[in-house]
């Protein structure tokens, strides 16, 4: 605490990202990174762009990337916003669509950045408790509110809610913006992008960090009615004209264009996930059906926190959230087959 | 205007960056970019880093870059904050150190993003009119206020205020944060970094966009007492854990390390600037003494707006601000010698 901090700075409880310890080599299954490298076309394009043009500002609108995304998703360029990771896009969305004193709704167990955004932008919120099995209680979002946001699939629970229920929520909230945070949509869920032309109150947010193996490049995007995109642009252009550097813009374009590589790697991850879940099932783990590149698991006899600590001793990092309802669960990112074999072997020993 | 926008989004007047027209090839003297490319060591390092590690998140703290900057400026790592361009660092600073209902002070003619930040973060402000000759009226900052910010050298006027006056302002505002925005400090001014260990209320903000030829990479930083840096971290970690991608972090480290290249290019720009000012002087232009990589000029008989339009017709872009007190001035970035020869030739014809 410093006398120089604003009241706002003093009031905050910042988000804590998954640990990135540097003391030894770990199998990193704690930040939902992709085990496969980005497309070779991405790295080639970045190498070619690392030249004298870096002296010039990037395109503040990211038009080329917007066009590429619009084309890929069958939308207009004006229906696309691009930003510095989906975290920045989410932050700008809180500013652009939610007001103080009009509580928004999001699940009690969800991406832990939401309450942080709410605090920093002074947006009130009400938590909607997930059902006992961590599915989304859809009808709890039919009440009066200042906006709705949830991840689909949800993090860290990995559960997916079908589009017919998303539509019900959209229909019950026609005067408010409903944000579907689809960071993990490419691992088996069905995207709400197909609903954009039908619902002007729908904003879909995605990222290249997970399914395009580009966590290190910081590119996220939002898709929705062009009025929503204009709202996001107003916020961005009041904070930072150029949030994406030249290399990120160019790399992102190539990542979207190389659909073959994308399809191949995401299918590999889905395959590995299903194998891992089947083996954990045999070991007696409680398993939440997953449509993400991570799984959310609990064991009937060994505490999640103990497994977490033992795994770390064995140089395997997973994520443990010490918070109500999920403090006996572990979130485990899906690595490649070799990494997951080491993980399975380690937990087999730990739970004996 | 959309019914889905927040009250905040509806109220904004976003910043408009210098135009980047794509219809023809221009001599770009309108966004203060550096005419020289970045150090070859920067582009080589980025090429080498464009590899499989892009699948992994960057270091959220940017420790390597912080260490490099700390070492370069003779500070501790804890006295350094890094962000996505100095615009983002400025935005976070408004949030971290300024409160609503306690007006901050900045000059009436200054970086036009300041009132935009004030609006988006609901910070009241009072404009301090520059003197007639555009120098800073130092004693006008001795009054009660909620914080102080100004660029030194100032933009778009290019004037520099000596450190002894900065110290007076710091001494008169010991309970408030004084932010010196040194985006252009490397072109002849004297940095306030040397005062950091003496004044815990001083925050110095710089950028790699201008003097390190890296506008396309988006890297800015703040230097100050570690309590101020902690305040900035609280804001950043409530909005976006990773604002700098892996390539920007690596490129920035190399840019700071290659001091020889930096010294060479900035001296070349200073040399070109002095030659250009001397020639414009001969052409009868009114000239503000410049310590930046741009100049601020006015002609006694031809209107600035007319010169601006005529130059654009000749494929030379400069910046014109249609606002009180400076609507007969042009801001002209210093290009290389060839570009500036074309510029001088063009204005010579225009003012006849």
pLDDT of residue A352: 86
**What's the alpha-carbon Rg for chain A, to the nearest Å?**
20
Smallest CA–CA distance from B11 into chain A, residue: A234
Smallest CA–CA distance from B248 into chain A, residue: A245
Number of H helices, E strands in chain B: 11, 12
Smallest CA–CA distance from A52 into chain B, residue: B37
Q: Among B86, B344, B325, which residue's Cα sits nearest to residue B205?
A: B86
Classify residue B127 by burial, with Cβ atoms within 10 Å: 0-12, 13-18, 19+. middle
pLDDT of residue B328: 97
Q: Which fold has domain B7-37+260-350?
A: 3.90.1150
Chains A–B, number of C-beta pairs less than 8 Å apart = 276
User: Could you give phi then psi for residue B212, rounded to 5 degrees?
Assistant: -105, 10
Q: Over the range B46-58, which residues count as b (16 or more CB within 10 Å of their CB) and which as e?
A: bbebbeeebbbbb
Q: Which fold has domain A40-259?
A: 3.40.640
Please tell me which of the candidates A15, A54, A96 has its beta carbon nearest to residue B217.
Answer: A54
pLDDT by residue (tens digit) across A92-111?
A: 999 999 999 999 999 999 99
pLDDT of residue A23: 78
Residues of B in contact with A58 (CB under 8 A): 215-216, 218
CATH of region A7-37+262-351? 3.90.1150.10
Task: With a cut of 80, say whether residue B20 has pLDDT above it.
Answer: no
* Tokens 């993090």 sit on residue: A155
pLDDT tier, B125 (very low <50, low <70, confident <90, very high otherwise): very high
Task: With a cut of 80, say whether residue B19 has pLDDT above it.
Answer: no
Q: What percent of chain A has pLDDT over 90?
A: 96
Residues of B in contact with A214 (CB under 8 A): 54-55
Contact B4 A239 (CB under 8 A): no
Mean pLDDT of B80-94: 98
pLDDT of residue B24: 82
Contact B4 A120 (CB under 8 A): no
Task: Report how far residue B206's alpha carbon sits from residue A114's, in angstroms, rounded to the nearest whole number.
Answer: 31
Mean pLDDT of B231-246: 97
Q: What is the pTM of this model?
A: 0.97
Task: With a cut of 90, say whether residue A305 has pLDDT above it.
Answer: yes
Residues of B in contact with A84 (CB under 8 A): 84, 240, 243
Q: Where are the beta strands (DSSP E) in chain A?
A: 27-28, 80-83, 104-107, 125-128, 148-151, 178-181, 202-207, 220-224, 286-287, 294-298, 316-317, 330-333
pLDDT of residue A15: 83
Q: B interface mutation test: which of A218, A293, A335 has the most B CBs within 10 A? A: A218
Q: Which residues pair with A224 in a beta bridge?
A: A203
pLDDT by residue (tens digit) across B23-82?
A: 788 999 999 999 999 999 999 999 999 999 999 999 999 999 999 999 999 999 999 999
Question: Domain B40-258 is in which class?
Answer: alpha beta
Task: Report how far residue B293's alpha carbon sits from residue B289's, in angstroms, rounded to the nearest whole number.
Answer: 12
Please tell me which of the candidates A34, A60, A97 has its beta carbon nearest to residue B17.
Answer: A60
Task: Report how far residue A244's alpha carbon sits from residue A222's, in angstroms, rounded to the nearest whole number.
Answer: 14
Contact A15 B52 (CB under 8 A): no
Residue B59's H or E segment, with its range, is none
pLDDT of residue A16: 81
Please tell me which of the candidates A14, A215, A247 has its beta carbon nearest to residue B234.
Answer: A14
pLDDT by residue (tens digit) across B91-107?
A: 999 999 999 999 999 99
Contact A59 B20 (CB under 8 A): yes
Residues of A in contact with B59 (CB under 8 A): 20
Smallest CA–CA distance from A98 into chain B, residue: B6
Task: With a cut of 80, say whether residue B179 has pLDDT above it.
Answer: yes
Please tell me which of the candidates A119, A218, A238 has its beta carbon nearest to residue B119.
Answer: A238
What ranges do the domains of chain A cover?
7-37+262-351, 40-259
User: Could you give phi then psi for residue A111, rounded to 5 degrees?
Assistant: -60, 120
Alpha helices in A140-225 (DSSP H): 163-171
Please tell me which of the candidates A50, A225, A237 has its beta carbon nearest to residue B14.
Answer: A237
pLDDT tier, A18 (very low <50, low <70, confident <90, very high otherwise): confident
- The SS3 of residue A319 is strand
pLDDT by residue (tens digit) across B199-231?
A: 999 999 999 999 999 999 999 999 999 999 999
Smallest CA–CA distance from B33 into chain A, residue: A56
Q: Would you call the peptide bond into B156 cis, given omega within 30 degrees of 0 as the criterion?
A: yes
Please tell me which of the candidates B5, B13, B230 has its beta carbon nearest to residue A2.
Answer: B230
Q: A interface mutation test: which of B1, B9, B90 has the most A CBs within 10 A? A: B9
pLDDT by residue (tens digit) across B134-152?
A: 999 999 999 999 999 999 9
Nearest chain A CA: its distance from B352 CA (Å): 33
Say whether the ipTM exceeds 0.90.
Answer: yes
Nearest chain B CA: its distance from A270 CA (Å): 17
Q: Average model confidence (pLDDT) for chain A?
A: 96
Residues of A in contact with B236 (CB under 8 A): 14
Please tell me which of the candidates A42, A55, A233 has its beta carbon nearest to residue B214.
Answer: A55
Distance spanning both ends of chain B, measured CA to CA: 46
Contact A42 B54 (CB under 8 A): yes
Q: Where are the beta strands (DSSP E) in A189-275?
A: 202-207, 220-224
Measure the CA dihedral B93/B95/B99/B105, to 10°.
40
Mean pLDDT of B310-328: 95
Contact A54 B28 (CB under 8 A): no
């Amino acid at each position: 605490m410093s006398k120089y901090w604003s009241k706002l700075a003093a009031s905050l409880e910042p988000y804590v990202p998954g640990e990135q310890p540097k003391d030894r080599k770990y199998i990193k299954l704690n930040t939902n990174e992709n085990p496969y490298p980005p497309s070779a076309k991405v790295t080639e394009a970045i190498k070619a762009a690392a030249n004298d043009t870096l002296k010039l500002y990037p395109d503040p609108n990211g038009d080329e990337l917007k066009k590429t995304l619009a084309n890929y998703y069958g939308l207009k360029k004006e229906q696309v916003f691009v930003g510095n990771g989906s975290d920045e896009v989410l932050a700008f969305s809180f500013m652009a669509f939610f007001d103080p004193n009009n509580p928004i709704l999001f699940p009690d167990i969800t991406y832990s950045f939401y309450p942080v955004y709410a605090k920093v932008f002074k947006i009130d919120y009400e938590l909607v408790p997930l059902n006992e099995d961590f599915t989304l209680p859809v009808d709890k979002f039919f009440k009066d509110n200042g906006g709705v946001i949830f991840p689909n699939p949800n993090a860290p629970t990995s559960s997916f809610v079908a589009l017919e229920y998303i539509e019900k929520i959209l229909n019950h909230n026609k005067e408010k913006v409903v944000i579907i945070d689809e960071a993990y949509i490419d691992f088996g869920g069905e995207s709400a992008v197909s609903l954009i032309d039908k619902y002007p109150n729908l904003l879909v947010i995605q990222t290249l960090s997970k399914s395009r193996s580009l966590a290190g490049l910081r590119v996220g995007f939002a898709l929705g009615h062009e009025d929503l995109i204009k709202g996001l642009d107003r916020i961005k252009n009041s904070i930072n004209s150029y949030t994406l550097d030249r290399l990120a813009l160019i790399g992102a374009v190539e990542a979207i264009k190389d659909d073959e590589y994308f399809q191949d790697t995401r299918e590999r991850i889905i395959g590995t996930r299903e194998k891992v879940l089947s083996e954990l099932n045999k070991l007696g783990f409680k398993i939440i059906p997953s449509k993400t590149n991570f799984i959310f698991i609990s064991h009937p006899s060994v505490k999640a926190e103990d497994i977490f600590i033992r795994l770390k001793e064995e140089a395997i990092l997973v994520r443990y959230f010490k918070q109500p309802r999920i403090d006996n669960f572990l979130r485990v990112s899906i690595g490649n087959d070799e990494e997951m074999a080491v993980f399975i072997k380690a937990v087999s020993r730990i739970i004996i």
